[in-house]
A = this chain, B = another copy of it.
Amino acid sequence: MTDSQSAKDSSKGSPSSPRAAAAAAKRRRLSAAAARVLHEQGVERTAIADIAKAADVPVGNVYYYFKTKDDLVEAALTEHAARLTALTDELDRLPDPRARLKALVHAWLSQRETAARYGCPTGTLAAELDKRTPGGLDHTAAQVIRRLLDWTTAQFHALGTADPDGNAVTLIAAYQGMSLLTNALRDPDLMTREGTRLLSWLDNVR
């Protein structure tokens, strides 16, 4: 997270003024648009103007909210991270960790059509960001993936499995892998089949 939010009030808490509220709304609109368009078109093939248009914000104005394109990419990832948080928060309400993991898989499956068209947002962004910042080690996409891994590890831990870390990697890798294959082959059913396998694996894992 950079200082690109300077001069605006933080995204948390109640806005200090209606003007600031409008600004925050615009910022959110841009983030959401960036999340969607960057996922659909890819980072390099997306011009700032594309995102501006999708968010219905004048091009010149984008730079008031995000100093660089990279900032917008980061915002898109933050958006995806927020959705992940919303999802895990939801899943955390389930009492059983096994049920949580299975619900996670179901959530993936519900997105299979999108995956067939555009792949997993976080996965594709991670791959693109890796090329985009040749030296940059720990980009935001990696962080989002790490958070997903951590949450998953925690579930396997709660489940009392022998190797929670390994299980988490296995599960998330399976997700990323089947997303990529589903996307490459444009076949949502592939994800259904592989998801079914994951569900029965989760039923038996220990």
CB distance from A16 to the nearest CB of B (A): 16
Segment from A26-34, A66-74, A80-88, A184-192 that makes contact with B: A184-192
Give 14 CB contacts A-B under 8 Å. A41-B131, A41-B134, A42-B131, A45-B131, A119-B127, A119-B130, A123-B127, A127-B128, A128-B128, A146-B185, A169-B178, A169-B190, A173-B177, A177-B178
Known contacts A42-B131, A194-B169; A180 and B186 CB within 8 A of each other: no
Give CA–CA (A137, B131) in the complex, Å. Answer: 24
Counted per complex, copies of this chain come to 4
- Tell me if A181 and B185 are in contact (CB < 8 A): no
Q: Which of A165-206 contact B (CB under 8 A)?
A: 166, 169-170, 172-178, 180-181, 183-186, 190, 193-194, 197
Q: Which of B42, B45, B173, B193 contacts A180 (CB 8 A)?
A: B173
